[in-house]
Chain A
């Protein structure tokens, strides 16, 4: 299959961007904090490498199956990443805040339901079943990620959870890229591969640019450290933990009241 110089440039830029992001994650010791995000970047790096050669030297069928295998792995890792982001945001004390857990499960359920309805409505003007499946599949992933990103953000804002620096940046990059994905799939659902292949290709370049933008955003924001916090003195720390116990006691008493 043929690749233009422009296509090769984009492919190579993505590949280099993923290497740089992996190096940043390891050099700045972010792997421990974000293992699933690191796994997703590593998986994207490997798939970019493998799929390039499959595209050049393999058959269209092998590329199609490769695309779906890679896409499925990527989708699962992205879902894992959403869970990782949620765990960082909504478990400030090391365990999930009670009010956030049920809301998060509700958000996931509603998102999947809305996504299924939207995907069922999607009937792209494509010539083959394969192209229809590809459009619907990628739309499903992008729409789900967009919904989950907005859901996490809304939950953090309404629940009063701090939108922490690095977690927030990872979520924002993923959310922005997913939004572009939804726009791309919706626009191209009106186009047929036979007559408008070049337009679809040009639009897919916009999606690639959005991905490169997200990569750059992650590289820069994960390179820098979060603002250095101050530390409490030992007696002050003991006092604050004492205050916490007092709070728990007061609230336990209030919750135990009943009207007689």
Chain B
């Protein structure tokens, strides 16, 4: 009887490992096999001027404090948590764009690794906001995390563009239009 429970446990164990493998191999394959157009197609549209306004509000401040913009206006400009989730998904595309460069120019690794870390940081901030949404504290947490998320995203887009410009890579015009 106890051997039956062992077998059932192993079946669940192997199924869980199999599901994890399948889910993530799809992402690895997609990142490895995507060509330039496919990568750009994955970028979801965002309101660039609002993103820039929120980011500039913080970036232009000379002090060590965040900008003057309040949480509720940022919330409406970004489209709430859904808007930040779009930025999170776009971040994955930015990493893939950096990996795309790295495939051809391995020495660009140092920049793509930094972009990867930025994306992780952005995911962390969005994760905190999702947690806050579940506990009903989204409005309060939004002011704390949303601007950082937007600034990281903004800096990432600028740096990916700069990477492509400096490495004189083809497709820069399409990339600028997509970002």
Contact = CB atoms under 8 A, between A and B. Distances in A.
B3 A160 contact: no
A159 B14 contact: no
A156 interface: yes
B118 interface: yes
Nearest to B63: A260
Chain A contact residues: over half helix, strand or loop, or mixed?
Answer: helix
A93 to B, nearest CB: 6
Interface in B117-132: 117-121
A254 interface: yes
A238 B117 CA distance: 21
A124 interface: yes
Contacts of B24: 153-154, 157-158
Contacts, number: 145
B113 A93 contact: yes
Interface residues of B, number: 57
A21 to B, nearest CB: 25
Instruction: Indicate the member of B96, B110, B168 with the most A CB atoms within 10 Å.
Output: B110
Contact of A250 (B7, B25, B64, B155): B155
Contact of A240 (B17, B66, B107, B155): B107
- Specify which of A160, A239, A260 lies most central, judged by the most chain B CB atoms within 10 Å of its CB: A160
10 closest cross-chain pairs (CB), A and B: A157-B24, A121-B6, A160-B95, A260-B65, A229-B106, A160-B116, A239-B166, A186-B10, A232-B107, A150-B17
Given A121-B6, A121-B9, A163-B32, 13 more contacts: A97-B113, A122-B3, A123-B2, A143-B13, A159-B120, A160-B92, A189-B3, A232-B167, A240-B166, A243-B159, A244-B110, A251-B118, A260-B66
Interface of B: 2-3, 5-7, 9-10, 13-14, 17, 20-21, 24-25, 27-28, 31-32, 58, 64-66, 92, 95-96, 99, 102-111, 113-121, 143-144, 148, 151-152, 155, 159, 162-163, 166-168
